[in-house]
Amino acid sequence: MAICDFASFLGIDMSSFRLQLPWALSTVPYAIFMIVIGSKMRNCKLLEFSSPRQLLVIVLISALIVALLSHFWMLDMFLNRILPIFPQTIAALVGTYMVFSLSKLIDKAKVKNPIIAFIPRILQIVGKETFIVVAFSQLIIRMINEYFILNSIIKYLVLVVILCLLGVVKNKIVKLLCIVQTK
């Protein structure tokens, strides 16, 4: 019952700010393609043999490529904006590779700072919840933008925390449903 109440208030609140839930079925094949490619990239052993210096260069070049492509074309599955598909896909794949490289860099650099050393674990948690990221990240960012004035770094840190929490909630619900089904 509480979920229904929350959903009702969320719908009313979203409509008053002209926010919509436009996840269109037309983006599903592309989203699935990106999820499959991301899982295949995860198994790529290319980064295993890279030194921390090489990984840093990969991260910096990847960030530059993503920034340039994102400046001209914005991939937004939330609003069904996936065209032009070629540069959008390149940006998404390079961005994925950049995240993998950053995680490997932090891991190989043996960072002593516990907060920085925890970043790969956070990225891993978010990475395992790809469907939640695809489904909710733009909605969450739009709601943050509607209610708060935050700088970009803080905004995306809040996004990651919320996505992690949504992942935990989803996993608990799945676990609960599995327990109920086995009884």
Q: Where are the domains of the chain?
A: 22-126, 129-183
Residue 78 neighbours by CB distance under 10 Å: 21
Taking the chain (183 residues) in consecutive chunks of 10 residues, what is each chunk's mean pLDDT?
Answer: 58 57 65 80 76 90 91 73 82 87 80 78 75 80 87 88 88 85 73
Helices (H), 1-82: 2-16, 28-42, 52-72
Residue 129 neighbours by CB distance under 10 Å: 18
Euclidean distance between CA atoms 92 and 96, whole angstroms: 6
Is pTM beyond 0.75? Reply is no
Q: Is 76 helix (H, G, I), strand (E, B) or coil?
A: strand
Residue 68 neighbours by CB distance under 10 Å: 13
pLDDT at 178: 85
